Amino acid sequence: MVMITQIRINSDRLHHRINTLAQIGQQPSGSICRLAFSPEDLQARATVKQWMLEAGMTVRTDPAGNLIGRYPGKSPTAPALATGSHIDTVPTGGRYDGALGVLAGIEVAHTLKDHDLQLHHPLEVIVFNDEESTMIGAQAIAGTVLLNAPDRYQSKAGESIQDCLARVGGNWDNLATAARSRADLVAFVELHVEQGAILEQNGVSIGIVQGVVGMERLKITIMGKANHAGTTPMEMRQDALVAAAELILSVQQIALKMPSQPVATVGYLNVLPNAVNIIPGQVELSVDMRDLSQNCLEEMLAQLQDKIIAIANSTHTQISITPLLSVKPTLAASEVQSTIESVCQQLELNYDYLPSRAGHDALEIGRITNMGMIFVPSKGGFSHSEAEYTSPEQCTQGANVLFQTLSALDQKYKTFLGDISKEQTKPKLN
């Protein structure tokens, strides 16, 4: 009898599916456009559903439009082990972002079927709905969706979320019933391409994700006074762009001085009236701050507010802040991280620990259960473009780490099975 630790996924089947899915929505440039709720998204969903069925899974669509495949376990009433990601893309997406995690999850189930095996826990592969825009799928499962704000989830094309969900088999009116808990999901592990260049530059095969960073996003408006650039003395100016320049440098310095190595970016700048011979009278800019520590984010915001007061006083401008987004970080469960590490050692793959500075479905799911993420390298750090590339060997390595991690977690959490209530099946979160 073959030991489960000796089993490897079917690499050829995985890559055939990656290449097949990449043809849906492929553009002349080589990028992929599969916007959520689009005809391409519907076609991709139908394709993925067929592969789930071939892998021995039952398939359903929940009210949030999440496509959920379930492979049976030896203890059908036990909470499920879950994996997955998304198959929607940005307008110029790549073939691996999201898709690898979904297809590797299906491959895990198919590999179990090939060997006529079942884990103790049922296995779920979740295709989260609209990850690239509203994240309504993951938020609905996590119970963080804004049920009283349907306009928040309107599609980029301006369609109502009610119509969009109906198109994919969801139902806004029943959205609250999509929520899950630790009694339903014992753990969630997401395989994803890094979307950065750290693993590649360091020659590392597997990234063990410490958590998904929180984000604070702001719009800052600076009001000065537009005036003639030639006739207004320097000491009489209220130059909004000078204030913006000081603020931009302050954002950089605040991040550089924090010990946890957060990132902070000013990526948008709008200058008015934006003429060569007029002193700028108004500037709008964005600030994006990210870190694994909520305390760090709060400290950065406090320092930024102090800087804004000082800059406004010194430049004789008025500066206002409008919050745009506030997302708390989610740490990966320590037992999931240690399990991934043990699997890497078993498979003789080198690894490193790193945070995810991009948002993922795991950010939301980690709020309700033990979460972990596995990264594989991205060539050149490119993502969301036709240049996105992770080699077949790297994809296979990631899928094998996912397979063995889920198998090992199945054994770890097996003690929670048996003739006990669902409430008792909840493993303790860190």
pLDDT in tens, 306-330: 999 999 999 999 999 999 999 999 9
What is the DSSP secondary structure assignment for residue 32, as one 8-state letter?
B
16 is in an annotated binding site: no
User: pLDDT value at position 156?
Assistant: 75
Percentage with pLDDT > 70 across the chain: 96
384 is in an annotated binding site: yes
User: For tokens 């199945």, what's the residue?
Assistant: 410
370 is in an annotated binding site: no
| Token duo for residue 258 | 């924090």
Residue 47 has pLDDT above 60, yes or no: yes
User: Class for domain 4-212+330-420, per CATH?
Assistant: alpha beta
User: pLDDT value at position 110?
Assistant: 98
192 is in an annotated binding site: yes
Taking the alpha carbons of 203, 206, 211, 212 in that order, is the dihedral positive or negative? positive
Residue 426 has pLDDT above 70, yes or no: no
Helix (H) or strand (E) holding 49: helix 39-54
| Token duo for residue 210 | 């410490």
> Could you tell me where in the chain the CATH 3.30.70.360 domains are found?
214-327
Query: Residue 430 — pLDDT band, cuts 50, 70, 90?
Result: very low
User: For tokens 């969630």, what's the residue?
Assistant: 188
Contacts of 427 (CB under 8 A, 6+ apart): 182, 186, 187, 370, 413, 416
Taking the alpha carbons of 109, 111, 112, 114 in that order, is the dihedral positive or negative? positive
Beta bridge partner(s), residue 269: 285
In this structure, the strands spanning 185-193 and 370-376 are parallel
Residue 425 has pLDDT above 60, yes or no: no
132 is in an annotated binding site: yes
Residue 427 has pLDDT above 50, yes or no: no
What is the DSSP secondary structure assignment for residue 143, as one 8-state letter?
T
SS3 55: coil
| Token duo for residue 315 | 């430049």
User: pLDDT value at position 415?
Assistant: 63
227 is in an annotated binding site: no
User: pLDDT value at position 155?
Assistant: 83
86 is in an annotated binding site: yes
Number of residues assigned to the chain: 430
Backbone phi, then psi, for 77, in 5-degree steps?
A: -90, -5
> Could you tell me where in the chain the CATH 3.40.630.10 domains are found?
4-212+330-420
277 is in an annotated binding site: yes
Query: Residue 177 — pLDDT band, cuts 50, 70, 90?
Result: very high
**Topology of the domain covering 214-327:** Alpha-Beta Plaits (3.30.70)
